[in-house]
Copies of this chain bind each other. A is one copy, B any other.
Amino acid sequence: MADSLTLAFLDKLWRMPFSGESLEKAKYGILDYIASAFAGRADAGVMKLIRAADEEGGRPLAPVLFHGCRVNRGQSALINGFMGHALDYDDVHAEVRGHPSTVILPALIALGDRGGDGRRFLEAYIVGVEAMARIALALSNEHYERGFHNTATAGALAAAIAGAHYLDWPAERAALALGLAATQAGGLRVHFGTETKPLHAGLAAAAGIRSLLLAEADVQGSRASLDGRLGYFAVFGQGEERARAELLREDAVPRIVSPGLWHKLYPFCSAAYFGWHAAEQLGRIPLDRIEAIEIAFTGRSDAALIHQRPLNGEEGRFSIEYIAALILSGQGIRAGDFQRVPIDGEIRAYMDRMRRTNVMDEPPGVRYTRITVTLTDGGTVTAVGDRPKGSPGNPVTEAELERKFEEVVTGPNAAAIREQVLRLDEARDVRPFIGLLGEG
């Protein structure tokens, strides 16, 4: 086994050092996941999954966050994974090309009844993000472009690895769970724009849990599932050699620190973030001064924004028109704007003056959204959004994340949850904390 890539990768992860900075990043990652999940807690899809879990039944060992009920571990991972990603409000990671926290943290929460201290929980999360970023890099962009959804395909493996680390398994045993996760990896981007996109996060977390439980039951499988001609990277990626370089690369800084998690201040699709930045620069323009509004996207970067005339705030998550109208009207953006609430007449009037264009002659890698407002007096005003909050060089600060948390998370436990997250490295046992998250 000495030259097994699988075991060498796990050995490397198992020997990771944990700096104070990485532990801080992990705390804010947890804080942001909790805020995102809280905002999605009553999403229609969450309620469907809770009903389905109730039909299945099972030992109530793990929480449905913020619902005051417990379900079996797999269902907990499924529902909390969906919940965190339901509004597309959760973090992303450029190397993952997907959403790490809403896969890894639900898997760890589903194991919370096993005990363990807060430091162990943070470390397992850091290891999970590290694993998911390296696996996704090793798969290469071609994997995503072929049609796989990294959140799911890399996520199942990362969830199993994080869980095995949390359970303090030796790398040899983690390799068994990893193999069981690799053989369950799947997830197709053809489902983007439907509830199955956030479902992928939950399915990946649940596959990770299933793999750990099967390994605990002593079901035997390959412990070298990433290796060789038939291994995971040969089948899903560009082969073992390319994978080896990414999986075993020596880095001084963990991936949760650099490039780090990108956080969102608002629960709308990241494809609208550039246009949001442009609108913010324009500020309020009264409707009666506006003749027409052109929104120009580089390339097809508006592809994910499937609603040009959304019917409610939920559809508005995938509409630059809705977001621009909220800002140009002076209403501004609040988290509640993206629930299934009707859109008022003034916002609709702004949207009715908008049309999209695409700028196809920019070089690859150049990305912006430009908003041009033609005024009734014949003049025009224009702004280019190319560095929205959350993009590289314009990160969301810890203070802004705390404000997001405060704005989003309501109820009697909000302050206690925030305080416990920010002191999680001091917790002797995570169970009270996870119990608090589960309360309705």
Contacts and interface: CB of A to CB of B under 8 A. Distances in A.
Given A152-B183, A194-B222, A235-B146, A188 B48 contact: no
A224 B321 CA distance: 28
Band of interface residues on A: 35 or more
A180 B48 CA distance: 15
A359 interface: no
B52 A214 contact: yes
A295 to B, nearest CB: 26
A229 interface: yes
A218 B47 CA distance: 10
Interface in A34-91: 45, 48-49, 51-52, 55-59, 72-74
A152 B73 CA distance: 24
Nearest to A6: B190
A368 to B, nearest CB: 26
B186 A231 contact: no
A230 B185 contact: no
A191 B146 contact: no
A340 to B, nearest CB: 14
A232 B260 CA distance: 32
A64 B425 CA distance: 44
Nearest to A156: B186
Given A56-B59, A196-B222, A49 B190 contact: no
A415 to B, nearest CB: 34
A317 interface: no
B72 A213 contact: no
Interface string A317-356: 0000000000000000000000000000000000000000
A184 interface: yes
A356 to B, nearest CB: 22
Nearest to A60: B57
Contacts of A200: 183
A262 B147 CA distance: 35
Residue among A45, A182, A183, A231 having the largest count of chain B Cβ atoms under 10 Å: A183
Given A218-B48, A222-B194, A57 B59 contact: yes
A152 B182 CA distance: 13
A190 B148 contact: no
Given A51-B217, A58-B58, A220-B195, A190 B230 contact: yes
28 contacts: A45-B219, A48-B217, A48-B218, A52-B216, A55-B59, A56-B73, A56-B213, A57-B58, A57-B59, A146-B234, A147-B229, A147-B235, A149-B183, A179-B190, A182-B190, A183-B191, A183-B200, A184-B186, A185-B186, A189-B230, A190-B224, A190-B225, A190-B227, A190-B228, A190-B230, A191-B222, A194-B220, A194-B222
Interface of A: 45, 48-49, 51-52, 55-59, 72-74, 146-149, 152, 179-180, 182-191, 194-196, 199-200, 203, 213-214, 216-222, 224-225, 227-232, 234-235
- Ranked nearest first, the 5 interchain pairs of A and B with the lowest CB-CB distance are A196-B221, A57-B59, A186-B186, A52-B217, A147-B235
